[in-house]
Amino acid sequence: MGRKLKIGVACGGTGGHIFPGLATANELASRGHEVTLWLAGKDIEHESVKGWNGEIITIPAEGFQFGFSFRSVQTVYRLLKAYRLALSKMKANPPDVVLAMGSYASFGPIKAAGKLNIPYVLHEANLLPGRAVSMLAGKADTIAVSFEKTSYYLKHANIVRTGMPLRKDIQDASARPRIPRAEGGPMRIMIMGGSRGAQVLNEVLPRSLALVAETGVQLEVIHIAGLQDTESIAAVYEKACIKAEVQHFIQHMEEVYLNTDLAICRSGAATCAELAAFGVPALLIPYPHAVRDHQMGNARILQDSGAADVVDQQDISTTWLRDYLIRVSEKPGRLERMATAMKKRGQSDAAQQLANLIEKVGGE
């Protein structure tokens, strides 16, 4: 290792930015660097960074607004305030390099770094670049991406595919082989709609699986409902005599991935990266209101590589899902081919790759 670096990691906002940022920060800290997390003061951040032993700087920030309105004016004011606060703190203790994981929480620290001529690296998790990365890309030293085709959507001379950094427990477990479905055993399905849950998945899928069970197909379900009601979901499975575990959240997702034959879920960048790391075939139902429809972009990449099937939310119904699942249950060989294709897309060393890039930029 070269000289010890002072590194800022701006990863505030949502779990999709915090967890990969924290994974990279932990990797850098394990190499002896002095790492500071720059957060945005959101509730989710407090729980997410428990156990982090380094410095934390909080710069309150708010998401981007477009169009002219009182709220958009407020947002501009708050972003400028975030920039001034970040500039003041960065002047007092300037880092050698800054890594930003995207989102509005990156704006203040990255604009401050640019003002102070501190090199910075942006990480774009999704296929289609978010507003923050697009806005801040011009002066970035390097842009790290999860999907190789993201380079088609960004004008920058130095774009490197590092993959999506995963938490250490997920990364380590992904090296273990998935547990195969028992001969004659039930098809194991994992349903997940994101941290807040997905109403359409929670309502339509249990009814669809009940119809599948009526045909004699054996099923075993893990349904992660997010913040939404679990009792009504569990009641549908119980009535259909389907063995099901329904939870708001599951702490150790690695065990779920290792015991899943088919995932039915959204297609956020973190979910796609974890499915790929474990080689779990999926039916992806992208969140239709995602900014720039980025979840559909992520899903199409996996579909094009043969790793997943994709359906638009407006096209799903209980009967469509019933017919789809029956077809899948009759062709276990296809699921295995999808699993192989999904595993080929995995990049479990993304945190290490991104850390290598930060060391290179900071040491120049």
Q: Which domains does the chain have, with CATH numbers?
A: 6-166+348-363 (3.40.50.2000), 173-344 (3.40.50.2000)
Q: Looking at the predicted structure, is the pLDDT value of residue 76 above 80?
A: no
- Alpha carbon 307 to its chain's center: 17
Q: Looking at the predicted structure, is the pLDDT value of residue 84 above 90?
A: yes
Q: Looking at the predicted structure, is the pLDDT value of residue 162 above 70?
A: yes
CA dist., res. 102 & res. 116, Å (int): 20
Q: Is 167 annotated as a binding residue?
A: yes
Give this prediction's pTM: 0.91
Q: Is 319 annotated as a binding residue?
A: no
Whole-number mean pLDDT of the chain?
92
pLDDT at residue 337, rounded to an integer: 97
Query: Could you say which DSSP state residue 292 is in?
Result: G
How many CB atoms within 10 Å of residue 196?
A: 10
In order, the DSSP letters of 235-274 are HHHHHTT-EEEEES--S-HHHHHHT-SEEEE---HHHHHH
Q: Is 126 annotated as a binding residue?
A: yes
Q: Is 363 annotated as a binding residue?
A: no
**pLDDT confidence bin for 79, thresholds 50/70/90:** confident
Q: Looking at the predicted structure, is the pLDDT value of residue 67 above 70?
A: no
- Residue identified by tokens 């807040």 is 196
Q: Is 268 annotated as a binding residue?
A: no
Q: Is 232 annotated as a binding residue?
A: no
Residue ranges of E strands in the chain: 6-10, 34-39, 55-58, 97-100, 120-124, 142-145, 159-161, 187-192, 219-224, 243-247, 262-265, 282-284, 308-310
The region of weakest confidence among 101-115, 189-203, 207-221, 323-337 is 189-203
Q: Is 348 annotated as a binding residue?
A: no
Length of the chain: 364
Q: Is 345 annotated as a binding residue?
A: no
pLDDT at residue 51, rounded to an integer: 87
